[in-house]
């Protein structure tokens, strides 16, 4: 929170008001407010992130491919490097054509991939499953940064998934530990933020997120825990409840597994649209 330096009493009072929840959550945040959303498209262009229409087109194209899942319509969310939501889309004709819960889950996945990736090392949400199970090295991580419900369920549902979605310009928070969230790296290797995709089997979510990132040209991943350290692909190495790598993900079905394991060849990182 930022306060004007007009005296210690003013800053203390503002902090107390925010702490007691006596004003709207946005007033106590350094997130971009709703009144600033008109500048978001321009900001996206400067930051290298796609605008709403570009994201929606890429997600629709990826969802329409064979991804091994249920073939359901999807939600997609992008956050920037600060964790601020910059775009929320869905692939169906109407807001109810995809699981309503997946709007917030997609944003949670984007926040996770962004907040747990670094300029020289990417982690996907799919890489977190095994490590966050009981006995895992990151057990409890999924409870560490809860979604902000004031951001998640703000505004009128008629705006959800449109250019005026009320999540845009605000920080959603949340940690998700199954497939569908990927960090976004520009052609110069800059970590720009992340994408989250939700609405199908978690393995299919990962496949669709990977293909969407490929179409956006923001897949210049520097390194990761998968494919001998090359990338952040999903890893299927869990046997007898133990992941050989420590970063494994459960198998949803044979088709999603096969498609996922082939992603570095069918849609290579940094290689443009596959």
**Which tens digit of pLDDT belongs to each residue from 115-168?**
999 999 999 999 999 999 998 888 888 888 899 999 999 999 999 999 999 999
Say what the pLDDT of residue 9 is. Answer: 32
pLDDT beyond 70 at 36: no
User: In this model, does residue 43 exceed pLDDT 80?
Assistant: no
Q: Which of 90, 122, 127 is nearest to 218 (CA)?
A: 122
The pLDDT confidence band at residue 177, using thresholds 50, 70 and 90, is very high
Instruction: Give the pLDDT of residue 49.
Output: 97
Taking the C-alpha atoms of residue 170 and residue 174, their distance in angstroms, rounded to an integer, is 13
Q: How many CB atoms lie within 10 A of CB 3?
A: 14
In the predicted structure, residue 113 carries a pLDDT above the cut 70: yes
Q: What's residue 272's pLDDT?
A: 56
Residue 18 has pLDDT above 70, yes or no: no
- Cα–Cα distances (Å) from 20 to 6, 16, 24, 28, in that order, read 22, 6, 11, 11
Give Cα 172 distance to the centre of its chain.
Answer: 10
pLDDT tens, residue by residue, 181-239: 999 999 999 999 999 999 999 999 999 999 999 999 999 999 999 999 999 999 999 99
**Whose CA is closest to 235, among 268, 261, 211, 258?**
261
Q: Of 272, 234, 256, 270, whose CA–CA distance to 65 is shortest?
A: 256
Pull the structure tokens for residue 30.
Answer: 């350094």
**Interacting residues of 241 by C-beta distance below 8 A, sequence separation 6+:** none
Tokens of 155: 């505004």
Residue 92, pLDDT score = 97
Residue-wise pLDDT for 58-93, tens only, equals 999 999 999 999 999 999 999 999 999 999 999 999
Q: Which residue has the higher pLDDT, 35 or 264?
A: 264
Q: Output the CATH code of domain 33-266.
A: 3.30.450.150
> What is the reported pLDDT for 274?
45
pLDDT at 140: 84
Distance CA 196, CA 210 (A): 10
| C-alpha separations of 161 from 78, 92, 166, 234 in Å | 12, 10, 9, 27
Predicted pLDDT of residue 17: 30
Q: What is the pLDDT of residue 44?
A: 54
Integer Cα distance of 210 and 170 in angstroms: 25
Amino acid 47: pLDDT: 76
Nearest Cα neighbor of 68 from 181, 201, 199 is: 201
> Cβ distance 80 to 95 under 8 Å?
no
Across 26-51, average pLDDT: 54
CATH 3.30.450.150 placement within the chain: 33-266
pLDDT at 25 over 70: no
Q: Which residue has the tokens 């329409």?
A: 64
Which positions ≥6 away from 75 have C-beta within 8 Å? Answer: 88, 89, 90, 98, 99, 102, 103, 105, 106, 161, 197, 198, 199
Q: Please check the confidence at residue 173 and state whether its pLDDT lies above 80.
A: yes
What pLDDT does 141 receive? 87
Q: How far apart are CA 67 and CA 211, in angstroms?
A: 10
Q: Where are the beta strands (DSSP E) in the chain?
A: 75-80, 85-90, 181-185, 191-198, 238-239, 242-243
Looking at residue 46, what DSSP letter applies?
H
Average pLDDT value for residue range 6-33: 35
């Amino acid at each position: 929170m930022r306060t004007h330096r007009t005296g210690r009493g003013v800053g203390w009072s503002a902090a107390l008001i925010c702490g007691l929840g006596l004003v709207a959550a946005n007033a106590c945040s350094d997130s971009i407010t709703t009144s600033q959303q008109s500048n978001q498209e321009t900001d996206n262009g400067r930051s290298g992130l796609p605008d709403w229409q570009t994201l929606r087109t890429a997600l629709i194209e990826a969802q329409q491919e064979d991804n091994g899942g249920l073939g359901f319509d999807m939600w997609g969310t992008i956050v920037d490097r600060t964790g601020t939501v910059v775009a929320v889309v869905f692939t169906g004709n109407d807001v109810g054509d995809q699981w309503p819960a997946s709007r917030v889950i997609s944003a949670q996945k984007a926040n996770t991939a962004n907040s747990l990736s670094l300029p020289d090392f990417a982690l996907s949400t799919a890489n977190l499953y095994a490590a966050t199970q009981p006995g895992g090295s990151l057990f409890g991580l999924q409870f560490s940064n809860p979604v902000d419900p004031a951001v998640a369920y703000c505004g009128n549902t008629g705006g959800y998934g449109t250019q005026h979605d009320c999540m845009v310009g605000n920080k959603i928070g949340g940690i998700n530990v199954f497939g569908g969230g990927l960090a976004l790296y520009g052609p110069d290797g800059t970590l720009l933020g992340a994408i989250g995709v939700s609405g199908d089997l978690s393995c299919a979510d990962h496949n669709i997120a990977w293909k969407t990132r490929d179409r956006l040209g923001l897949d210049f991943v520097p390194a990761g825990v998968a494919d001998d350290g090359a990338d952040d692909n999903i890893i299927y190495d869990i046997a007898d409840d133990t992941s050989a790598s420590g970063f494994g993900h459960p198998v949803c079905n044979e088709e999603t597994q096969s498609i996922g394991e082939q992603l570095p060849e069918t849609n290579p990182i940094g290689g443009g649209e596959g």
